[in-house]
Chains A and B, each alone.
Chain A
Amino acid sequence: MDSPSPKRPHAEFESQSDDKDRISCLPEEVIGRILSRLTFREAQAICVLSGRWRHLCTSLVTDLDLDRLDLSEKMEDKPELAEKERARYVEWVDNVVHRQSGGDHALRRFALRFDLNMSYKSRIDRWIRFALAKQVKVLELDFRPVSTEDLLGGCLPYLLGHETLMDADVRCPHLGPSISWHVGFTYLEELYLKRVIVDGEFIEQLLANCPVLERLTLNDARTLNRLRVSGQSLKLKYMRIACCDDLEHVRIYDTNLVSFTFVGRQCLLRLNKLPQLSEVSMDGCLLKLVHEWLPKLSSLPFLQILKLEFIYSRRYHQRIPHQLPKLTSVKQLQLRVKGTGDLSLLPLTVVIEACPYLRSFVFELTDPWWIPNGEGRELERVVRPLHRYLKEVAFYNYYGRPCDLELVTYLIASAIALEKLVVNTCDKEYVSGEWKKLKEPRERALQQLKGKVPLKIDLVIN
């Protein structure tokens, strides 16, 4: 007999021959605990084994995670196979929904994660109404396409709109949209949409009609052009907008948002009267960030955590401003920089300077490749006001290039209150389709920094 789990080499198995089905005799609340530690698919494996387990699955499972994204690779660029898998996915979901419709316990989470599109609208609508009828708290639709062709616009994505909330039998065209809202929306706390078409007005009405909606993510919402989030009565606290390529105008004002994340290239952002907004993350074009978006943030009086991510290349190098409006409330700054080569990172210190009361700074390089050529270059310096409150600095993926050392040297010199410097070195690189371990960055870091940093700074090199 083979071991049920490779982690348990000492387990004895004589017990398996004594014929007792002890797991089925456990108290229901214990079974509930075990099932809650399994994904829905894993729980299904045990629940098809007996009537009791099927009943337990229906009544105790509260998270329906219908995720078959693992099939994406198999389906990629094979349209006929992909259609077959879609048909099977739909049949599977139909069965699960049918089984679960019987019980009267509420659902906590309902997630559909598969490459589905507009052709399946009527089924998807039905499934969403099922979930709402079950008072679901977390609703997730992730319909990311598997093929590049579809990704670039070949296939029409599923559209979530008012029709989803109306029963097929209802014929009341004269009633306004506000009347048709499914009662289930009163329980919705979190909504994640990926590759789903929604329009700005629908989102606005959704926010107005969901009394407890706290989290909203819109990812790859094609055709979404304008978005407005405002109102003191809204419960929305966390919002993430990513890769909505047609989005031109986002206005968030007079509401109690706590955290906002934006990933995108071109967009007009207006953020005003947001007294609770303490965390902002932005991933976009560096120039857009520094010239347009960052200045807007200075009107947020309580912004504490700022995270920025961008590509850094020669194209931007010369066009970074020398000064930015001050963000006086920011205490934590994180820069995640995508770029290779040995381009000086010092122009980016303008962002650090814009946060005069900064306490903690994190700098992460994503792919810092560089081929050293002989001597290396002379390190540049930049003169900026001293940082009086910056106490902690952490580097991720330090590579040991002159530009990396240049930036660390700058921080050591200008952060006069610096207490802790953590340098995590790059320990692997992706070469010819696989990850290769690296030792040189750590060796360079040790050679460049160990013993060369003022004693009062606690230096940690990983």
Chain B
Amino acid sequence: MSSSSSSSSPSCPKKMITLKSSDGETFEIEEIAALQSKTLESMIDENCASTPVPLPNITGKILAKVVEYCTKHAEVGADAESLRAWDAEFVSVDHPTLFDYILAANFLEIPTLLNLACQSVADMVKGKTPDEIHKIFNIKSTFTPEEEEELRRENQWAFD
């Protein structure tokens, strides 16, 4: 797989940095791709990224995908249409994974991935009644049955 980098000579080796997941797995990522993470960008700027960067709140399974996302989005010349399709496929995952993406993107400050995953969650909520949302996300109610009844009555019309 070849992806172009900003270096002028084709024989110049691409700068890589190493990331270490919470369960000890290591992943290599091109510096260019890593720059999409504001967290990693500032580490690179301050020269703290020469040794493996420990990421104690991201598992190997998720980190692998995040690296894949950043690498894909660092590619030059990808057309917008196919990138959109790729993104849609990327977030076609089960809920725990989607939430893990959100937490990882939030921690690493990757705005594109964060927005993509948040939009995916928003799309799941759109057009649903409270009951349907409750079923999908298992949101725990803290209301007493009376409070819940009152709330529903109050808002019923908004969902008609």
- Using CB atoms and an 8 Å cutoff, list the residues of chain A in contact with chain B: 1, 4-5, 7-16, 18-24, 26-27, 29-30, 33-34, 37-38, 41-46, 48-53, 88, 91-92, 95
Of residues 121 through 143 on chain B, the ones whose CB sits less than 8 Å from some CB of chain A are 121-130, 132-143
Per-residue interface assignment for chain B, residues 97 to 131, with 1 indicating a CB less than 8 Å from any chain A CB and 0 otherwise: 00100110010000000110011011111111110
B146 within 8 A of A: no
- Verify A16–B138 contact, CB threshold 8 A: yes
Q: Contacts of A41 on B, CB cut-off 8 Å?
A: 158-159
B65 within 8 A of A: no
Would A45 and B130 be within 8 Å (CB), given that A5-B124, A22-B95 are in contact?
A: yes
B151 within 8 A of A: yes
Besides the known contacts A4-B136, A15-B94, A92-B155, 5 further A-B residue pairs in the complex with CB atoms under 8 A apart: A5-B123, A24-B137, A26-B99, A38-B126, A88-B157
- Verify A16–B95 contact, CB threshold 8 A: yes
- Verify A7–B142 contact, CB threshold 8 A: no
Main secondary structure on B side of the interface with A: helix
B39 within 8 A of A: no
B46 within 8 A of A: no
Q: Contacts of B142 on A, CB cut-off 8 Å?
A: 50-52
Give chain B nearest CB distance to A164 CB in angstroms: 26
Q: Contacts of A23 on B, CB cut-off 8 Å?
A: 99, 121, 137, 139
CA distance A38 to B122 in the complex (A): 6
Tell me which of A7, A18, A24 contacts B123 (CB under 8 A).
A7
- Using CB atoms and an 8 Å cutoff, list the residues of chain B in contact with chain A: 88, 92-96, 99, 102-103, 106, 114-115, 118-119, 121-130, 132-143, 151-152, 154-155, 157-159
Tell me which of A1, A12, A16, A49 contacts B141 (CB under 8 A).
A49
CA distance A24 to B142 in the complex (A): 12
Q: Contacts of A46 on B, CB cut-off 8 Å?
A: 125, 130, 133, 139
Q: Contacts of B136 on A, CB cut-off 8 Å?
A: 4, 16
Tell me which of B94, B99, B141 contacts A13 (CB under 8 A).
B94
- Verify B123–A21 contact, CB threshold 8 A: no
Tell me which of A14, A15, A21, A95 contacts B139 (CB under 8 A).
A21
CA distance A91 to B134 in the complex (A): 25
Question: What are 12 A-B residue pairs whose CB atoms fall within 8 Å in the complex?
Answer: A4-B136, A22-B99, A23-B139, A24-B139, A26-B99, A30-B114, A37-B119, A42-B122, A45-B159, A48-B151, A48-B155, A49-B130
